């Protein structure tokens, strides 16, 4: 049941064999429906409730057509604009609009008769797509045979009218109504719920009541008045903070794709304001509002009550001990995609504390995949989405969390502080959509096996990274953080950033365009000075800039937004240095290729890498950018080292040093532990934080941003992946040796990064000479 027609476009009919399925809440609406039915389907029964529909269906011939119809009321100040059928609603609702939209777009009953008489252009009789009784009976038997046929047809009629109404009011509002009723009545859902009786030891009726409550907790609607109130109430969280820049070329394909399959937007998560910024972008480009799944930590007043009526699904952070909740969430997602509602969630599971993509959470993606595997939808289109900001108010708090501070709980007081912090303009928010791709095709390419979802998740994250532009803030902080604590002149910053811009162009990656030409670097530095990230000193012969004391993690957050563009280049530089030290009798090319794969394994919990063969091909292509004839040149004694000296710029020290230093702290601490002792990740993380602070004071690690709970956690995941956290075995000696080997491996990479830093300093001096 899809788009229908309104009263003005409906010619009177005299056909028989029709049941009019009306939706009316007031006497004036019932009168309007009766008049419409008398003119368009004379003699046809008009059913306004389930008992009347049940009687009509019992007497109906299988070829009888059920025609759903409802009254739609348009706001007085917008009726003329919507009467032309464009369905385009202006951005800013007026108070009269909001008043008229009260009660799910229905004015109070005592106004309706007068409105219909005095403002007939405000009233539309909207007809949903009809269906025959035989078709509805078949669908009932397939989908909800345990529910009454009349209840099923009644729900189908409501949904048909909702879809028809969207053709009139526009796609800004997508309204998933009667969700709980549809899912609970589903035969498939009830069968799965019965499967939980043995696991939980609870009866079916008890589980059904529990599932109904869980679905009620999840279900959201999109009320136009609530959406406008939500936008108005939360606009202070983002409207003044950034000027939004959208790559419109990446938006255009989404209009066509949305007509063939539901879209699932998977954005980066850097700010609390991400969903608000993205929603405004979609609205401005006339795309339907997404149903957004987010954490229930944000469900406090007023965000929770308004959000639940504005298309926000607040989900639990964990649900491991509640199989009914997991089933309800899985079925809810499947239901939404089966009804072709666009979805949105943040695949990282939380805001990035480092500025780069976190490892993806697989739960919601597995439920989405299950919907396709179950045949609930033929396909969905995944849309990797990048949101990146010049500066962010909340980075300070996230940087403090990396240093061991507790995260502040969200609530009304937190919201007031956040809004105050967002009053000042912080530059530009950049929104780009990566290349959309079919989930069905991605699953087919991934094949079966345990790594199936991980391969799809890699494609999502790779798409996000490729779409994410290197901002001016990212490149300037990239230059300053790599200075080893020294202040840099404007020329020194320029000679560091220009090769980065050239490299982005050669890779075809999005960069800051003209934002770093002319006085662009100075403007970027001024923003960073205003944000108290960078310190400017003008008391000498030449102005210099440096990262302010205690602000290195904040600066690293901005740098890391673009760091993925330079990881392959950094690996190439390390591999070439390894090739320059190839033992006698070893082919330097083989040494470089093996080292690149070893580095891939060492960094796999920090960055996203393709499968090994594709990775090796990519590294070979990246090395060819240094010198197309590199395979021949590295055969000469000193040839690999000469390539590095002539390369023009080096990325590895500035790109990887912080991550490798964090790994070295973890490996050092791990090597000191008794192999028989258990490793508690939280306790171990705090101990690493203390050791990292000590090493920073001693100069044993040089990057303050490397002292980070987030980086230590990733390094510990790597150690666990290598089996270095097991305890209580008979192989304590082997475990101690393996931990020491892990530390030595990282120490050797650190030594090469230090050597590359020396080469980089010489290159910079030559460029400035």
pLDDT, tens digit (0-9, with 9 covering 90-100), for 364-399: 999 999 999 999 999 999 999 999 999 999 999 999
Give me the mean pLDDT over the 143-155 stretch: 92
**Could you tell me if 460 and 381 are in contact, meaning their C-beta atoms sit under 8 angstroms apart?**
no
Give the pTM.
0.86
Question: How sure is the predictor about 687, in pLDDT bands with cuts at 50, 70 and 90?
Answer: very high
Question: How sure is the predictor about 727, in pLDDT bands with cuts at 50, 70 and 90?
Answer: low
- Other residues' Cβ atoms within 10 Å of the Cβ of residue 762: 11
Q: What is the DSSP letter of 638?
A: T
From CA 126, how far away is CA 123, in angstroms rounded? 9
pLDDT at 7 over 60: no
Per-residue pLDDT at 515: 77
pLDDT at 53 over 90: yes
Residue in this structure with the two tokens 């002292």, named with its chain if needed: 707
Q: What is the DSSP letter of 77?
A: T
Per-residue pLDDT reduced to its tens digit, 529-576: 999 999 999 999 999 999 999 999 999 999 999 999 999 999 999 999
Question: How sure is the predictor about 13, in pLDDT bands with cuts at 50, 70 and 90?
Answer: very low
From CA 88, how far away is CA 169, in angstroms rounded? 7
* Residue 224: exposure state from Cβ atoms within 10 A (0-12, 13-18, ≥19): buried
Which residues, in sequence order, are bridge partners of residue 267? 385
Question: How sure is the predictor about 9, in pLDDT bands with cuts at 50, 70 and 90?
Answer: very low
Per-chain mean pLDDT for the chain: 90
pLDDT at 92 over 50: no
**Could you tell me if 45 and 52 are in contact, meaning their C-beta atoms sit under 8 angstroms apart?**
yes
Per-residue pLDDT reduced to its tens digit, 395-428: 999 999 998 899 999 999 999 999 999 999 999 9
- Other residues' Cβ atoms within 10 Å of the Cβ of residue 582: 18
Least confident of 88-92, 227-231, 332-336: 88-92
Give me the mean pLDDT over the 615-628 stretch: 95
Per-residue pLDDT reduced to its tens digit, 456-509: 999 999 999 999 999 999 999 999 998 888 999 999 999 899 999 999 999 999
Rg (the chain; Cα; Å): 30
Least confident of 156-165, 649-658, 701-710: 156-165
pLDDT at 585 over 70: yes
pLDDT at 5 over 80: no
Which ranges of 447-587 does DSSP label H, i.e. alpha helix?
452-467, 472-481, 490-507, 520-530, 552-560, 567-580
**Could you tell me if 527 and 392 are in contact, meaning their C-beta atoms sit under 8 angstroms apart?**
no
Per-residue pLDDT at 728: 55
Quick one: tokens of 447? Answer: 């094949």
pLDDT at 747 over 50: yes
Percent of the chain with pLDDT over 90: 76
Strand intervals (E) in 113-204? 123-127, 131-132
Per-residue pLDDT at 637: 87
Per-residue pLDDT at 513: 65
Per-residue pLDDT at 76: 59
From CA 568, how far away is CA 291, in angstroms rounded? 36
Per-residue pLDDT at 44: 93
Give me the mean pLDDT over the 73-82 stretch: 55
Per-residue pLDDT at 97: 45
Which residues, in sequence order, are bridge partners of residue 23? 70
From CA 472, how far away is CA 498, in angstroms rounded? 11
Question: How sure is the predictor about 765, in pLDDT bands with cuts at 50, 70 and 90?
Answer: confident
Of the candidates 266, 276, 613, 294, the one whose C-alpha atom is nearest the C-alpha of residue 463 is: 266
**Could you tell me if 116 and 28 are in contact, meaning their C-beta atoms sit under 8 angstroms apart?**
yes
């Amino acid at each position: 049941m899809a788009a229908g027609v309104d009263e003005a476009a409906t010619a009177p009919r005299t056909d028989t064999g029709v049941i009019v399925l009306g939706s009316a809440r007031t006497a004036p609406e019932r009168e309007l429906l009766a008049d419409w039915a008398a003119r368009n389907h004379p003699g046809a029964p008009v059913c306004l409730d389930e008992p009347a529909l049940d009687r009509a269906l019992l007497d109906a011939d299988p070829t009888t057509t059920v025609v759903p119809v409802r009254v739609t009321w348009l706001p007085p100040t917008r009726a003329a604009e919507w009467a032309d059928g464009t369905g385009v609603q202006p951005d800013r609702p007026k108070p009269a609009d909001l008043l008229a939209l009260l009660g799910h777009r229905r004015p109070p009953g005592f106004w309706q008769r007068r409105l219909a008489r005095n403002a007939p252009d405000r009233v539309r009789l909207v007809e949903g797509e009809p269906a025959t009784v035989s078709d509805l009976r078949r669908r009932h038997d397939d989908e909800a045979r345990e529910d009454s046929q009349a209840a099923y047809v009644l729900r189908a009629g409501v949904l048909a009218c909702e879809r028809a109404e969207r053709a009139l009011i526009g796609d800004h509002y997508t309204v998933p109504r009667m969700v709980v009723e549809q899912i609970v009545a589903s035969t498939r859902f009830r069968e799965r719920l019965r499967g939980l009786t043995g696991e939980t030891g609870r009866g079916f009726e008890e589980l059904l009541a529990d599932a109904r409550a869980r679905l009620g907790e999840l279900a959201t609607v999109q009320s136009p008045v609530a959406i406008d109130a939500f936008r108005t109430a939360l606009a202070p969280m983002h409207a003044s903070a950034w000027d939004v820049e959208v790559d419109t070329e990446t938006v255009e394909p989404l209009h066509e794709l949305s007509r063939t399959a539901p879209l699932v937007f998977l954005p980066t998560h850097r700010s609390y304001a991400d969903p608000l910024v993205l929603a405004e972008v979609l609205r401005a480009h006339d795309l339907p509002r997404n149903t957004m799944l987010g954490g229930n930590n944000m469900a406090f007043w007023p965000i929770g009550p308004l959000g639940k009526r504005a298309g926000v699904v607040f989900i639990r952070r964990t649900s491991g001990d509640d199989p009914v909740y997991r089933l309800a969430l899985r079925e809810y997602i499947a239901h939404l995609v089966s009804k072709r509602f666009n979805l949105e969630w943040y695949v990282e599971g939380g805001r990035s504390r480092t500025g780069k993509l976190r490892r993806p959470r697989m739960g919601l993606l597995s439920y989405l995949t299950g919907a396709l595997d179950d045949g609930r939808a033929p396909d969905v289109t995944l849309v990797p989405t990048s949101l990146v900001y010049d500066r962010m108010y909340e980075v300070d708090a996230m940087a403090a969390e990396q240093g061991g501070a507790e995260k502040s709980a969200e609530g009304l007081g937190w919201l007031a502080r956040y809004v105050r912090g967002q009053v000042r303009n912080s530059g530009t928010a950049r929104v780009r959509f990566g290349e959309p791709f079919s989930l069905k095709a991605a699953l087919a390419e991934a094949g079966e096996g345990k790594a199936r979802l991980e391969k799809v998740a890699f494609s999502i994250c790779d798409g996000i990274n490729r779409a994410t532009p290197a901002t001016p803030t990212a490149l300037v902080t990239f230059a300053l953080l790599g200075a080893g604590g020294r202040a840099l002149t404007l020329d020194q910053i320029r000679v560091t950033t220009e090769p980065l811009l050239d490299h982005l162009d050669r890779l075809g990656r999005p960069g800051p365009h003209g934002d770093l030409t002319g006085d662009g670097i100075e403007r970027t530095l001024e923003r960073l000075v205003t944000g108290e990230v960078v310190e400017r000193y003008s008391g000498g012969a030449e102005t210099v800039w440096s990262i302010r004391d205690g602000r290195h993690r904040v600066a690293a957050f901005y740098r890391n937004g673009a760091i993925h563009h330079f990881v392959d280049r950094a690996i190439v530089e390390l591999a070439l240095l390894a090739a320059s030290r190839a033992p006698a009798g070893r082919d330097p090319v083989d040494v470089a290729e093996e080292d690149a794969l070893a580095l891939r394994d060492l960094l796999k919990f920090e960055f996203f890498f393709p499968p090994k063969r594709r990775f090796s091909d990519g590294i070979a292509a990246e090395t060819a950018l240094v010198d197309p004839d590199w395979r021949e040149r590295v055969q000469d004694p000193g040839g690999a080292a000469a390539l590095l000296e002539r390369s023009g710029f080096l990325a590895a020290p500035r790109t990887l040093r912080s991550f490798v230093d964090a790994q070295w702290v973890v490996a050092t601490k791990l090597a000191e532990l008794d192999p028989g002792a258990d490793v508690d990740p939280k306790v171990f993380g705090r101990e690493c934080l203390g050791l990292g602070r000590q090493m920073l004071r001693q100069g044993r690690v040089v990057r303050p941003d490397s002292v980070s709970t987030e980086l230590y956690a990733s390094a510990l995941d790597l150690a666990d992946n290598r089996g270095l956290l097991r305890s209580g075995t008979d192989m304590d000696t082997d475990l101690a040796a393996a931990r020491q080997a892990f530390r030595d491996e990282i120490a050797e990479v650190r030594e090469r990064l230090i050597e590359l830093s020396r080469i980089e300093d010489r290159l910079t001096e030559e460029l400035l000479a």
